[in-house]
Amino acid sequence: MSRFELTRIPFIKNTLKSRYPQLAVFIVMLVGYIFAILAGLIGTPVGSHNFSIVFVWIAWWAILILVAVPFFGRGWCAVCPIPLPGEWLQRGAVLSPPDKKPKWLNLRWPKFLRNIWMQNISFLLLALFSSVLLTTPNITGIVLAAMLFAAIGLSTIFERRAFCRYLCPVGGFIGLYSQTAPIELRIKDKQICVTCEGKPCYNGSANGYGCPWDVFPGGLTKNTYCGLCMECIRTCPHDNIAINLRPFSADLAKPSTRMDEAFKAFIMLGSAMIYAGVLLGPWGAFKDAAYNVGTSAWFIYAVIFLAIIFVILPGFFTLGILKTKGSLPLKQRFASLATALIPLGLMFWVAFSLSFVLTNASYIIAAFSDPLGLGWNLFGTANAVWQPMLTFVLAPAQTLALVGGLIWSARTAQKAANEIRTSSISVIAFSFILTLVMLWLLL
Ligand code: SF4
Ligand code: SF4
Ligand code: SF4
């Protein structure tokens, strides 16, 4: 497979090796994040006029799902401010190299939790309350603050970035879909790693910290757990780390056999479909149930939500592959073939988000001038009238995304099936039916 090493370009390499450009972006992001928390807590309760809702759930979400994840994988994690205060506290430093003395408790993360089930649960919790979260500024402020404090708390108890690696609800799905991105961080020469003394990329050195994501860069084969923090580029004494451009979805050629990752694919796929039905579908009762958190209707909604994700979708998927021949046990076939749902789910999210973002993007213009909804008019745009944007491209773009996702999923299914010597027909049929449902929900 052809790759182009971006770090061969001196400007890119020097920018990534230096800590200062990244720190500058981090500080801007951290200020924006803290402002979003404050706006949520003290700004107007009208979501469409509050910075926390408009910039987090419309602007940031649009950039994340339509650009950052599909093209840069974990690129957002490279500049995300959430782990920063905890990491600075953990290291006792902002920029200076490590002094080797562990700060705070520095415990290893428990072995039985070294998977993404906690991330699956944290995402589902947000998903179940998302109707309220997406529209109520103070709830958004509280959730953003809780993520920041959880990251700080875990940094003082556990080593490295435990929050990012095992708990962050956003990081879980970015990691899943980062496998499809045309960018990767990998070693250049395996042999150099074999003979490298001390493995500073993992253990740290005077030049920098050991991998904050608890990954050994020398063994990286997929993007999922590399947070693109660039630390190993700084610590590797042999200049053996590269950032490469590569074909889309290169990581999916070797399907995962992990059930936590397979269920992540179902969670994301099912959530996109449920959101499309609840937020854009014609069923008012369904929407009311999602919004009225704590009522019996909401509990029924929550049960249906979880049943679709954990029983109905995986159940039909399993029925499809049950009769297919293969040397692997059913559980491994299930996990491997679920790889095909990764591109499908990503494109479902792209198609759903296009509706959501283009309908609400004009709120961004007004919120620029009046981010707290307090009657300011900083840039003269506070009175910009709400109107859906680019409505004429919406349906064609969504159709393209969904059909493209189906073709991408079918190709991935074929490769995964070849890898484990089984048939891809039932998985392709499953993806086809879900794509029809999604087309019906969105168009
Ligand atoms: S995993 Fe979550 S908190 Fe960590 S860098 Fe990524 S988005 Fe931010
Ligand atoms: S420091 Fe560099 S050469 Fe050594 S193991 Fe890590 S990536 Fe390989
Ligand atoms: S140190 Fe290297 S391998 Fe580890 S998260 Fe950072 S960029 Fe990825």
Ligand 2 atom 7 nearest Cα: 218
CA distance 247 to 245: 7
CA distances from 189 to 195, 227, 372 (A): 11, 21, 52
Give the distance (Å) from ligand 2 centre to CA of residue 196.
6
Which two three-digit tokens encode residue 357? 């973002």
State the ligand closest to the CA atom of 174.
1
CA distance 179 to 186: 13
Nearest ligand 2 atom to alpha carbon 192: 3
Give the mutation target among 191, 233, 238, 243 for probing the ligand 2 site: most ligand atoms within 8 A of CB.
Answer: 238
* Residue in 85, 210, 209 with CA at minimum distance from that of residue 155: 85
Give the distance (Å) from ligand 2 centre to CA of residue 148.
31
Ligand 1 atom 7 nearest Cα: 171
CB-based pocket (< 6 A), ligand 2:
187, 192-193, 196, 199-201, 217-218, 236, 238, 240-241
Nearest ligand 2 atom to alpha carbon 196: 4
Q: Please list the residues that pair with 107 across neighbouring strands.
A: 158
Weakly modelled stretches of the chain, pLDDT under 50? none
Is the CB of 402 inside a 6 Å radius of any atom of ligand 1?
Answer: no
On whether the CB atoms of residues 188 and 35 are closer than 8 A, the answer is no
Nearest ligand 1 atom to alpha carbon 81: 8
Is the CB of 172 inside a 6 Å radius of any atom of ligand 1?
Answer: no
State the ligand closest to the CA atom of 211.
3
Residue 245 backbone phi and psi in degrees, to 5: -85, 140
Residue 330 has a pLDDT of 93
Is the CB of 358 inside a 6 Å radius of any atom of ligand 1?
Answer: no
Residue 24 has a pLDDT of 97
CA distances from 437 to 113, 186, 431, 434 (A): 35, 38, 10, 5
Nearest ligand 3 atom to alpha carbon 233: 2
Give the distance (Å) from ligand 3 centre to CA of residue 72.
15
Is the CB of 410 inside a 6 Å radius of any atom of ligand 3?
Answer: no
CA distance 66 to 133: 21
CA distance 189 to 405: 34
First to last CA, the chain: 37
State the ligand closest to the CA atom of 228.
3
Nearest ligand 1 atom to alpha carbon 74: 6
State the ligand closest to the CA atom of 212.
3
Residue 1 has a pLDDT of 60
Ligand 3 atom 6 nearest Cα: 229
Q: Where are the domains of the chain?
A: 1-253, 255-442
Is the CB of 242 inside a 6 Å radius of any atom of ligand 3?
Answer: no
Give the distance (Å) from ligand 1 centre to CA of residue 99.
25
pTM for this predicted structure: 0.95
State the ligand closest to the CA atom of 160.
3
Ligand 2 atom 8 nearest Cα: 193
Is the CB of 229 inside a 6 Å radius of any atom of ligand 3?
Answer: yes
Ligand 2 atom 5 nearest Cα: 193
Give the distance (Å) from ligand 1 centre to CA of residue 81.
8
Nearest ligand 1 atom to alpha carbon 165: 1
Residue 276 has a pLDDT of 94
244 three-state secondary structure: strand
Residue 402 backbone phi and psi in degrees, to 5: -70, -45
State the ligand closest to the CA atom of 225.
3
Give the mutation target among 185, 191, 192, 230 for probing the ligand 2 site: most ligand atoms within 8 A of CB.
Answer: 192
